[in-house]
Amino acid sequence: MGLDTLDRHTTLITINRRLSRVLHGEYERAQLAAGATVWESPDILPYPSWLQRCWNDVVAGTDGALPALLGAEQDLSLWEQVIAQRPPADTEPALLQSTAAARDAQAAWALLRGWQLHYDGDLGYASDEVRAFRRWAHDYASLCEAGKWMDLASVADRLIDVARKDSQASALLQGMAGSSGEVHGVRRLLLAGFDAITPQQQSLFAALGERGIRVEKRAAPSHDVNALRFDFATQDDELEAAARWARQRLEDQASASVGIVVPGLARVRHRLAVIFADVFAPGATRPGSAQPTPLFNISLGQPLADVPVVGDALLGLCAMAGWLSLADAGRWLLSPYLGGGDLSWRARLDAELRRIGEPRYSLVHLGEIATRMAGAGGASHGKAGFHVALLEALQRRDVSRTHARAVSDWASEFSSWLVDAGWPGERALTSDEYQAVQAFRELLATLAALASVLPPLDFAGALTKLQQLAARQLFQPRTGSAPVQVLGVLEAAGADYSYLWLSGLHHQAWPEPARPNPFLPVKLQRALGMPRAGSEQQLGWARAWTARMLVSAPEVVVSHPRQQGDEPLRPSALIAGLPLGDRDAMITSRAPGDIQGVQAGAPILEILDDQVAPAVDTRLPVRGGVSVFKDQAACPFRAFAVHRLGARDVEAPDSSLDSRVRGNLAHRLLELLWQALGGQSRLLALSAGERGDLVRSTAKRVLDDEARRRPQTLRGRLLALEQKRLESLAEAWLDIEAGRAPFEVEAEHSESRNVAGLPVTLRPDRIDRLADGQLFLVDYKTGPSDPRDWFGERPGEPQLPVYALAMDDIGEARVVGLAFATLRPGDLGYRGLAQDDGLAPGVNSVSASKLHGAREAADWDAHKSLWRERLTRLARAYLEGDARVDPKVPGATCRYCGLQVLCRIHEQ
Ligand code: SF4
């Protein structure tokens, strides 16, 4: 029976909300295909909504003596309360988490109503769980009676009473006028997706039948069985094949409707959305591309809390609680939905928080840091001003967070705080974002409505409640009618398609496992045939479902993956007998542009050569310094992105003292020590006590400076341990320095020179002047390092060779040696190359060196010539605009680069 039989006197009732949405879409498509431009909306609604509508109409016709209907969340809150008020005794399940238990108790109650049983009746063997449920059910019923409330599961019973009483039946029947608007307009109820009808539903439909209303099941479509079976290596392969197959069917027949059924849709929803978007709208996410007409729709929404505009609102409310973790503070600052003002300035504030590295920040801290930055920012003060003012305004919102208040008060407090925080942002929202904002506002109204059933809560309690509501509420934006519908198992059974693909039917997933309700005796559930009560029920249900789906469309494909992780999978026994299809014949390969025949307005893909950027304009200052050489050698695109586009990987929030911070502390300590000592002679002249005092006070100075930046992290025991670590590192290192040939340490250089056409500021960690006046350059390393990175066409660490050439060019003295000074516990010492032996332990002449790569030139001067050649080539490539995505060692070079999102190396 098609949807064309729907008329003004028919209401189509679906088993769930998702099927209702699917059938609305199907109806719209049929109207469009018939050439209609406007049409009357059909009366299609899910069973719970239909019950609710009927009850509201009955209540409207009375003087208010009838109980008020509880919303789903109000009902759940009541169950949570009764469970919390009766803490489980020893004989009861101590495992219960109140929300999960409340949901199961709510479902057990609905099953009892559906089978017209009473919780106090003879249900058979009563386990601890069943006895606990009976006590909760008793409390719940008493609460409902006292509050004059009624739950949705009980509405049908009351409607049966109403239908059988002449005095009240007319109100009910009037309410059934449905969309026709006519009194007693509905003469027929059409049921879709009702595989099994509960005794309660049977009674209700029978009572309505006695009042002249016809109740019919919507007949399922029936075609010849010609289904083929396919298997795929993984579930991703299977879903991608389904998407490509669906797309090809649309290309062949633009008016086709395609159904893809995915058991366990919630588990794979995200992955599936990515795969389908890739197949149906390649390039649709390009900046500035028009949003194409959606060709597919996934019938299952995502939790409202996971929608970014709502997730950021909840995050903003957490800031109101007092503290944000470092990661959350960054997310809040970078959110396009919060804060207003200048986003680039907010990004700088985020970078500053990461640099400081404290584990958490309050609004007061944020305000102080923002004010400090604004004061130091000169030209950026104006951009910062807005944000500083916003933070101050939020701090001024004086709310007592420990005082218990009605949740309705908190709902309005949350609402106005979000307005102050600039939510939902200044830019125009997309349609999906706008709908999510509306859904969140409705959720705040739901929270306010809980005031009738919840006691007053403090701030944290109210926010937790709101977070729970947002996590439970599924959000599905209305996108209009899409020709490809991705469905779960339940809604698929009621829909009608030109093509149908049943995926994921492997032996572990189909039939779905039994899951009896824990609060009702299992024997009773099985005997009465309650849903998911036992494996026999599941098998019988799955067998009937499969048989029906195989004849539900002229072309049906059935599939399963062969593997899940390491586990091999077989086809479900219910589909194993179907003939295997030919995968190559099923989908022929097409060019991406063909989809435009179906999707007007889809973005046109254009291939651009992005390997060469415009040449650097050398009349303007060339930025980047010595790191241009390093980045160009590592990957030309990286050099282009970092030094010309200004791209940066944000630092990963790390509130501990990570290796980078520890490295900086060690660098700073040695810098200050040599500023104090000046050279080796003074070091050797110090007594052991004097040397110890110098090391101790210098380490303390370094740590005090750092502790001022990280007062929450660097304190107490950690501070004492760091002091010890730095002292022992310095002592061990000074021992090595004492054993070298004589040297003085040069004061810090910051001179600029041109090397191979690129300006470089000379800033090695240390320049030692040797007894003969020549120079030795030192680079401190606290991480892994190897001088082999100075050699080869693409040197990994070219800084010291660059500095060496630049200082030679100055001409005041020659550089005769380079070394990495490794400051790792257990691996202290120099490793380097020099003109002659004897400069420092671990630093050898070219002829004596065992360094990998040292022999690629015959002597020290030949190495310098080679470095100049290679560095010149790198500099020239950079200046000419070489921007190839060409990592030196794919994988290893990219691992810590952080620009993968920009260069899209993973798509190559
Ligand atoms: S991630 Fe790899 S390919 Fe991309 S820019 Fe960085 S180094 Fe180059």
| Residue range 596-649, pLDDT digits in tens | 555 544 334 444 667 888 888 888 888 888 999 999 999 999 999 999 998 887
* Share above pLDDT 70 across residues of the chain, in percent, rounded to a whole number: 87
Give the pLDDT score at 593. Answer: 45
Give the pLDDT score at 396. Answer: 64
| Residue range 793-825, pLDDT digits in tens | 899 999 999 999 999 998 889 999 999 999 988
Identical topology for domains 3-64+154-217 and 228-301+480-596: yes
Question: Which uninterrupted H or E stretch holds 769?
Answer: strand 766-770
| CA atoms in the 13 A half-sphere facing the CB of 22 | 32
Residue 263 has pLDDT above 50, yes or no: yes
Find the 905 Cα to ligand 1 centroid distance in Å. 7
Residue 112 has pLDDT above 60, yes or no: yes
Q: What is the CATH number of domain 228-301+480-596?
A: 3.40.50.300
Find the 287 Cα to ligand 1 centroid distance in Å. 21
User: Which of 498-502, 590-594, 827-831 is the least confident region?
Assistant: 590-594
Question: For residue 292, what pLDDT band results from cuts at 50, 70 and 90?
Answer: low
Q: Is residue 887 lining ligand 1, measured as CB closer than 6 Å?
A: yes
Ligand 1 atom at minimal distance to the Cα of residue 634: 7
Q: Do residues 502 and 556 make contact, with C-beta atoms less than 8 angstroms apart?
A: yes
Mean pLDDT of 367-377: 75
Burial 287-298 (b: 16+ CB within 10 A, else e): eeeeebebbbbb
Question: For residue 488, what pLDDT band results from cuts at 50, 70 and 90?
Answer: confident
User: Which of 69-73, 293-297, 603-607, 827-831 is the least confident region?
Assistant: 603-607
Give the pLDDT score at 480. Answer: 61
Ligand 1 atom at minimal distance to the Cα of residue 890: 2
Question: For residue 894, what pLDDT band results from cuts at 50, 70 and 90?
Answer: confident
Ligand 1 atom at minimal distance to the Cα of residue 903: 4
Question: For residue 711, what pLDDT band results from cuts at 50, 70 and 90?
Answer: confident
Give the pLDDT score at 57. Answer: 77
- CA distances 32 to 16, 293, 481, 600, 824, Å, are 25, 15, 10, 16, 72
Mean pLDDT of the chain: 84
Residue 50 has pLDDT above 60, yes or no: yes
Q: Do residues 193 and 490 make contact, with C-beta atoms less than 8 angstroms apart?
A: yes
Ligand 1 pocket: which of 642, 886, 893 to mutate (most atoms <8 Å of CB)? Answer: 893
Mean pLDDT of 830-856: 91
Give the pLDDT score at 260. Answer: 94
Question: For residue 383, what pLDDT band results from cuts at 50, 70 and 90?
Answer: low
Burial 180-201 (b: 16+ CB within 10 A, else e): beeeebbeebbbbbbeeebebb
Mean pLDDT of 709-727: 88
Give the pLDDT score at 556. Answer: 92
- Between residues 671 and 481, the one the model is more confident about: 671
CATH for 3-64+154-217 (1.10.357.10, 3.40.50.300, 3.40.1280.10, 3.90.1010.10): 3.40.50.300
Find the 906 Cα to ligand 1 centroid distance in Å. 10
Residue 544 has pLDDT above 50, yes or no: yes
Q: Is the Cα torsion angle 110, 115, 116, 122 positive or negative in sign?
A: negative
- CA distances 444 to 403, 466, 661, Å, are 20, 7, 44
Give the pLDDT score at 242. Answer: 94
Question: For residue 61, what pLDDT band results from cuts at 50, 70 and 90?
Answer: low
Structure tokens at 38: 């406007």
Return the domain boundaries, the chain: 3-64+154-217, 72-135, 228-301+480-596, 317-472, 659-743, 746-895
Find the 899 Cα to ligand 1 centroid distance in Å. 6
| Residue range 147-189, pLDDT digits in tens | 889 999 999 999 998 888 766 666 666 656 444 444 345 678 9
- CA distances 655 to 86, 357, 361, 667, Å, are 42, 5, 11, 20
| CA atoms in the 13 A half-sphere facing the CB of 556 | 25
Q: Is residue 885 lining ligand 1, measured as CB closer than 6 Å?
A: yes
Mean pLDDT of 661-675: 93
User: What does the longest C-alpha to C-alpha distance in the chain come to?
Assistant: 117
The residue whose C-alpha atom lies closest to atom 2 belonging to ligand 1 is 894
Q: Is residue 636 lining ligand 1, measured as CB closer than 6 Å?
A: no
Give the pLDDT score at 652. Answer: 63
Residue 415 has pLDDT above 70, yes or no: yes
Sheet holding 188-192, edge to edge: 44-46, 10-14, 188-192, 214-217
Ligand 1 pocket: which of 638, 648, 794, 901 to mutate (most atoms <8 Å of CB)? Answer: 638
Give the pLDDT score at 592. Answer: 46
| Residue range 200-247, pLDDT digits in tens | 999 999 999 888 889 998 877 777 778 899 999 999 999 999 999 999
